Chains A and B, each alone.
Chain A
Amino acid sequence: MTSLKKSLAVSKALRSIPSSRAPETLLPAVMRRVGLADTYWRLESPLGPVFVAHSKAGISMVSRAKSDADFERSFERRYGRRAYPEKSVPPAAVRALVRHVRGEERRELSFDLRGLSEFERSVLLKALEIPTGEVRPYSWIAKEIGHPQAVRAAGTALAKNPVPLLIPCHRVVRSDGRLGKYSMGGARNKRTLLQIEGAHPETLEKLASSGVRYLGNSKGMHYCYPTCGGIETLVESNTVPFHTDAEALAAGYHPCSDCRPLAIAS
């Protein structure tokens, strides 16, 4: 062979070195990092499979859906951007989600609530403060965020919660003891979740139907929402039922500093 021919053979051999296919994870990761799309996992929950989407800002959507395509459609309808599936969930993320749901660590996850109004955001962040195993009425949320009149609006904001289960809107119930609506599959699911979390919805309903809103502790002389610190600790012999704040105050009890039953404004 002449040297020219040999050179051609060498360059031809170089050209024939095959290229690799980019891994499937590359495109979703890039799109999420530049903020043009979110990625999502499919996880098991007490309510069956759920889809959890996250952007670079945080978790953006939790929803039950029939299929990937179903979820992607509803995601795109809500946010106007795409969601790509992630085949595997990083173990660290699973651990963080579990810790969060169990209430062991509530500040670890970040949420992408950019599409919401200031009011809606403050309602959801307030709901995030309700510990596992406890519930608060809608009016408590409204009072705590400084809009005591906006009870109904707080309910509407909770109904729009893009990240149910993780921001526990299921822990917000009606003042009359009924559990109220639930965006993720209706009231029955709300009951299921509260049962799993140990909030004893039946006991709560029984108390509420007899008009009891608060339980006072005769040792510490303070009164609480029935689930404060876990319902078991309060449904004891030294508890005193109260129907209103006024009744409790008149009996010499002061509002608990953990669950803050009394309106801040008053």
Chain B
Amino acid sequence: MWHECVPESDRSAWPGGRGDFRLVLGQPEQGKGGRTSMSHEDSLRERIACDLDGSFEELVRTYQDRLYSYALRLMARREDAEEVAQDAFVKAYKALATYPAERIRGLALRPWLYRITLNTARNRFRGKKLRTVSLDHPIAPGSDAMWEAADSPEKQPDRRYEKRRERRDIAGVMAGLPDRYRSALQLRYVEGLRLEEVATVLGQPLGTVKSNVHRGINALREALSESRREGVRS
């Protein structure tokens, strides 16, 4: 982890200027779908506190897949999702530019970015009904192309078909859940945030989030077996 910070006044003395930060610290680790390790988030946060302009690109690269995916689930249309993600990053930059280094060091970056994205999406659709959580990726309707890459470990077509159908079921059922369950479940499981982070994003007490996740799972489970029964009958 990176703890030393070049003070503002000495920054010009840093060899090669701010570009060297990235060189010294190496490229961001980027897993599939932009999963980020905590230690990487810590060191990124430290770099942002030291040198926002020099490390902002890395922040965008680290979180763009996650925030775009999240926006896509909120907005359903690709163009809307891209604009929401763009706006969210721009807002984040503007906010970070005004924060003192100490405030940035204390910032939980990941939930903070999700929260900005959620608020941006909400503002965009103020007045209109926000289509929260579309789990179906809005590529071509009925197209299965989007699952292929993600499903690579499952080679047998039958197994893959099964998985696909399961996800489609879940997407349909999720759409019918009350918003409080859906938002909590989405952030917790689909986006993979910790419970405390979900609480930060939604601006709710931890207890509320815990109970919504718990009840949401039960509701989802029941709705799912309900829809399966119907599926068998028809």
Measured CB to CB, the residues of A under 8 A from B are: 3, 6-7, 10-11, 13-23, 25-27, 29-31, 33-34, 36-37, 82
In B165-189, the 8 Å CB interface with A consists of 166-167, 170-171, 185-186, 189
The answer to the question of B190 belonging to the interface, with a C-beta cut-off of 8 Å to chain A, is yes
- Whether B150 pairs with A18 at a CB distance below 8 angstroms is yes
- Whether A26 pairs with B64 at a CB distance below 8 angstroms is yes
Contacts of A25 in B (CB 8 A): 82
**A10/B224 contact (C-beta < 8 A), A22-B68, A27-B60, A27-B64 known:** yes
- Having A3-B218, A10-B221, A13-B170, one finds 15 other A-B pairs with CB under 8 Å, namely A6-B225, A15-B189, A15-B190, A19-B65, A21-B65, A21-B68, A22-B69, A26-B60, A26-B89, A29-B86, A30-B60, A30-B90, A33-B86, A34-B90, A36-B57
Contacts of A22 in B (CB 8 A): 64-65, 67-69, 82, 85
A7, A10, A17, A27: the one within 8 Å of B57 (CB): A27
A257 to chain B, nearest CB (A): 47
- Whether A16 pairs with B167 at a CB distance below 8 angstroms is yes
Contacts of A34 in B (CB 8 A): 56, 89-90, 93-94
- Whether A14 pairs with B170 at a CB distance below 8 angstroms is yes
Contacts of B93 in A (CB 8 A): 30, 34
The answer to the question of B147 belonging to the interface, with a C-beta cut-off of 8 Å to chain A, is yes
Can you list 24 residue pairs at the A/B interface with Cβ under 8 Å?
A: A3-B221, A10-B170, A10-B217, A11-B217, A13-B170, A15-B192, A16-B150, A16-B167, A17-B167, A18-B33, A19-B69, A20-B68, A20-B137, A21-B33, A22-B68, A26-B68, A26-B82, A26-B89, A27-B57, A30-B90, A34-B89, A36-B56, A37-B57, A82-B57
Q: B53's closest neighbor in chain A, by CB?
A: A36
A15 to B191, CA, bound (A): 8
The answer to the question of B61 belonging to the interface, with a C-beta cut-off of 8 Å to chain A, is yes
Of listed A16, A20, A30, residue having the most chain B CB within 10 A:
A20
A21 to B146, CA, bound (A): 11
A15 to B92, CA, bound (A): 27
Contacts of A3 in B (CB 8 A): 218, 221
- Whether B190 pairs with A23 at a CB distance below 8 angstroms is no
A217 to chain B, nearest CB (A): 56
A7, A16, A31: the one within 8 Å of B221 (CB): A7
A33 to B87, CA, bound (A): 9
- Whether B64 pairs with A18 at a CB distance below 8 angstroms is no
Contacts of A37 in B (CB 8 A): 57
Q: B217's closest neighbor in chain A, by CB?
A: A7
A27 to B150, CA, bound (A): 23
- Whether A6 pairs with B221 at a CB distance below 8 angstroms is yes
Q: B83's closest neighbor in chain A, by CB?
A: A29
- Whether B60 pairs with A31 at a CB distance below 8 angstroms is yes
Contacts of B150 in A (CB 8 A): 16, 18
- Whether A14 pairs with B190 at a CB distance below 8 angstroms is yes
A18 to B170, CA, bound (A): 13
A36 to B86, CA, bound (A): 14
- Whether B60 pairs with A11 at a CB distance below 8 angstroms is no
- Whether A18 pairs with B57 at a CB distance below 8 angstroms is no
A167 to B149, CA, bound (A): 48
**A33/B90 contact (C-beta < 8 A), A15-B192, A18-B33 known:** yes
The answer to the question of B220 belonging to the interface, with a C-beta cut-off of 8 Å to chain A, is yes
A26 to B81, CA, bound (A): 10
A113 to B75, CA, bound (A): 38
The answer to the question of B66 belonging to the interface, with a C-beta cut-off of 8 Å to chain A, is yes
A121 to B171, CA, bound (A): 57
A27 to B171, CA, bound (A): 29
A15 to B170, CA, bound (A): 11
A81 to chain B, nearest CB (A): 9
**A20/B56 contact (C-beta < 8 A), A10-B224, A13-B166 known:** no
**A18/B147 contact (C-beta < 8 A), A27-B57, A27-B61, A34-B93 known:** yes
A29 to B167, CA, bound (A): 33
Contact flags B142-162 to A (C-beta < 8 A → 1, else 0):
000011011000000000000
The answer to the question of B34 belonging to the interface, with a C-beta cut-off of 8 Å to chain A, is yes
The answer to the question of B118 belonging to the interface, with a C-beta cut-off of 8 Å to chain A, is no
The answer to the question of B72 belonging to the interface, with a C-beta cut-off of 8 Å to chain A, is yes
Of listed B56, B60, B72, B218, residue having the most chain A CB within 10 A:
B60
Contacts of B224 in A (CB 8 A): 10
A10 to B186, CA, bound (A): 12
B185 to chain A, nearest CB (A): 6
- Whether A30 pairs with B89 at a CB distance below 8 angstroms is yes
A14 to B149, CA, bound (A): 17
